[in-house]
């Protein structure tokens, strides 16, 4: 053991440090996360092979553990956190070696890619994600967002805080067009932040307005988050209603509800439209009152 820590705890620290260092390295986040996973696994595997990582596992052959099993407690619910007084034994972090663990994890990743990526192409709703991303790229490359910001600045220019209000309005339009928070915030930051600072706006108000208006992409339709959430929520809702109908003696959810047990993305869009517009109005009103 190192510094008296359990092998699993040391492994978590190694993963955290590698991930933290990878993100701060300046590489794109996707490559940093993947590289941190590979590097941290290599370090943990090397330490485990050298016998430096020891895990304090519960001794399942002890009389105390057998007494718990005799009380009807399931073995998978017994842990060192719930029962710290149980006898323990020292075992390697990878019980069958890191080679077996690597093979199992690679198999898990390949299966998930098959289920989520390859099979996900058959879900027509997810095609909207590609269209929203293409729309955001088109707005950025065609300079439409820049022209829109200039026009809105002229419209709201006579008002106190007119530039901040125009940033909120343009941010809401961009959020509704792209549905991506990061793209909206970065685009608005590049376009409007220098202009706001040159016109005497404080850095706090400028960055706050840009960040707040950019997050409207999560809720104002069309939103990529709502599309992804809608596909997941629809499956969970249908499955839950089927189980509920069968528990009450009905053959299926259609007979029980009298209508299909479906939560469509369009329904979620309708539910999110009014709160999104209300938030945009509140942000613009706050900037106006703050400027007054």
HEC string for 229-262: HHHHHHHHHHHHHHHHHHHCCCCCHHHHHCCCCC
Residue with tokens 């190192």: 2
Instruction: Give just the sign of the alpha carbon dihedral 10, 12, 13, 17.
Output: positive
Closest CA to 153 of 170, 130, 174, 135: 170
Residues 98 and 201 placed together within one structural domain of the fold = no
Domain boundary among 74, 107, 122: 122
Tell me the per-residue pLDDT of 214-270, one tens digit each, with 9 for 90 and over: 788 778 777 777 777 777 777 787 878 877 877 877 777 766 666 676 777 778 888
Residues 182 and 70 placed together within one structural domain of the fold = no
Say yes or no to pLDDT of 95 above 80: no
Residues 241 and 103 placed together within one structural domain of the fold = no
Taking residues 83-99, report their average pLDDT. 76
Provide the number of structural domains found in the chain: 3
Q: Give the whole-angstrom CA distance, residue 251 versus residue 157.
A: 63
Residues of the domain holding 68: 56-89
Residues 171 and 43 placed together within one structural domain of the fold = no
Residues 216 and 163 placed together within one structural domain of the fold = yes
Domain boundary among 74, 89, 104: 89
Q: Are the C-beta atoms of residues 193 and 156 closer than 8 Å to each other? A: no
Residues 43 and 63 placed together within one structural domain of the fold = no
Residues 19 and 158 placed together within one structural domain of the fold = no
- What pLDDT, on the 0 to 100 scale, is given for residue 92? 76
136-145 in b/e form (b: 16+ CB < 10 A) is beebbeeeeb
Residues 152 and 139 placed together within one structural domain of the fold = yes
Residues 100 and 212 placed together within one structural domain of the fold = no
Residues 249 and 152 placed together within one structural domain of the fold = yes
Residues 156 and 184 placed together within one structural domain of the fold = yes
Q: Of the ranges 85-99, 261-275, 277-291, which one carries the lowest mean pLDDT score?
A: 85-99
Mark out the alpha helices in 25-126 (DSSP H runs).
29-49, 63-70, 98-113
What region does 73 belong to: left with phi over 0, alpha with psi -120 to 50, or beta? beta
Residues 74 and 107 placed together within one structural domain of the fold = no
Q: Of the ranges 47-51, 144-148, 177-181, 284-288, which one carries the lowest mean pLDDT score?
A: 177-181
Taking residues 66-83, report their average pLDDT. 78
């Amino acid at each position: 053991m190192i510094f008296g820590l359990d092998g699993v705890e040391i492994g978590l620290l190694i993963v955290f440090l590698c991930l933290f260092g990878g993100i701060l390295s300046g590489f794109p986040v996707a490559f940093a996360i993947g590289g941190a996973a590979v590097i941290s696994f290599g370090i943990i595997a090397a330490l485990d092979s050298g016998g430096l990582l020891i895990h304090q596992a519960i001794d399942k052959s002890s009389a105390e553990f057998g007494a718990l099993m005799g009380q009807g407690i399931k073995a998978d619910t017994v842990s060192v956190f719930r029962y710290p007084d149980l006898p323990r034994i020292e075992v390697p972090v990878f019980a069958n070696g890191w080679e077996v663990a690597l093979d199992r994890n690679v198999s898990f990743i390949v299966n998930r890619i098959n289920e989520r990526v390859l099979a996900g192409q058959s879900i027509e709703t997810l095609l909207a994600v590609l269209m929203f991303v293409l729309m955001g790229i088109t707005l950025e490359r065609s300079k439409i967002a820049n022209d829109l910001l200039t026009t809105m600045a002229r419209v709201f220019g006579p008002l106190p805080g007119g530039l901040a209000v125009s940033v909120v309005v343009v941010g809401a339009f961009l959020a509704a067009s792209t549905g991506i928070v990061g793209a909206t915030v970065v685009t608005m930051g590049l376009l409007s932040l220098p202009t706001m600072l040159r016109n005497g706006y404080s850095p706090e108000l400028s960055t706050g307005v840009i960040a707040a208006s950019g997050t409207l992409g999560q809720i104002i339709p069309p939103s990529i988050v709502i599309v992804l959430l809608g596909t997941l929520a629809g499956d969970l809702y249908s499955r839950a209603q089927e189980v509920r109908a069968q528990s009450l003696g009905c053959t299926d959810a259609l007979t029980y509800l009298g209508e299909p047990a479906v939560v469509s993305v369009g329904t979620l869009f309708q539910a999110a439209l009014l709160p999104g517009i209300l938030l945009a109005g509140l942000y613009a009103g706050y900037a106006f009152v703050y400027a007054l």
